[in-house]
Amino acid sequence: KQEVTQIPAALSVPEGENLVLNCSFTDSAIYNLQWFRQDPGKGLTSLLLIQSSQREQTSGRLNASLDKSSGRSTLYIAASQPGDSATYLCAAPRADSWGKLQFGAGTQVVVTP
Amino acid sequence: DVKVTQSSRYLVKRTGEKVFLECVQDMDHENMFWYRQDPGLGLRLIYFSYDVKMKEKGDIPEGYSVSREKKERFSLILESASTNQTSMYLCASSADTQYFGPGTRLTVL
């Protein structure tokens, strides 16, 4: 059974610092991994999808890496801004059914001005 | 721009009522999902549909049913709402990336 863990559960940084968010998964036979952002009371917004054949995926200030052999993915957010304050979730495919995802509990990020 | 819409942002119902939550996607995705999200419990899958009229139970299907008569629409039904079904309900659709709707905050009194 796929288990996804995100550490830390919460993070507070001053504006301008780089953010590093960690995600680990137990079943490395994955074909992709996704990162999402969630603002309070809202749905999830897809940030990045990394295919298993890729090691990195970039979008603007966001960069996500994937290391299947170690069961880890990292989301980097460069030069953080107060608008980056949100909860960030990673999700890996479940082994029991193609298409289903197993979500981590998320890392709550606060960027202080 | 991709779009997943949910019929209500906020809903208040009474115990025992039948509740319908509607989700519509405009991306011609085959896969659609219903989740609920609760503090401390994270996102939990209620039901999954991989095609019209095809469905699969998720992790917590008890007390819920679903309907997928058209590809773009996936409905979640609470046959007899109970207070422990008070939650945030999230719909998603996917081909590869999962796209989520804005969520419905359901309160059952």
| Chain segment A22-75, per-residue pLDDT in tens | 999 998 888 899 999 999 999 999 999 999 888 899 999 999 999 999 999 999
Specify the pLDDT at position A29: 85
Average pLDDT of the segment spanning B1-11: 90
Q: Which of A49, A105, A106 sits opposite B97 (nearest CB)?
A: A49
pLDDT tens across B28-63, in order?
999 999 999 999 899 999 999 999 999 999 999 999
A98, pLDDT greater than 90: no
B75, pLDDT greater than 80: yes
B interface test, pick of A49, A101, A107 with most B CB neighbours within 10 Å: A101
CA distance A16 to chain B (A): 29
**Contact residues on chain A for B92, CB-CB shorter than 8 A:** 44
Secondary structure class of B83 (helix, strand, coil): helix
How many alpha carbons lie under 13 Å from residue B6 in its C-beta half-sphere? 27
Instruction: Put residue B103 in one of left, alpha, beta given phi > 0 → left and psi -120 to 50 → alpha.
Output: left
**Contact residues on chain B for A104, CB-CB shorter than 8 A:** 42
CA distance A85 to chain B (A): 18
Calculate the average pLDDT of chain B. Answer: 95
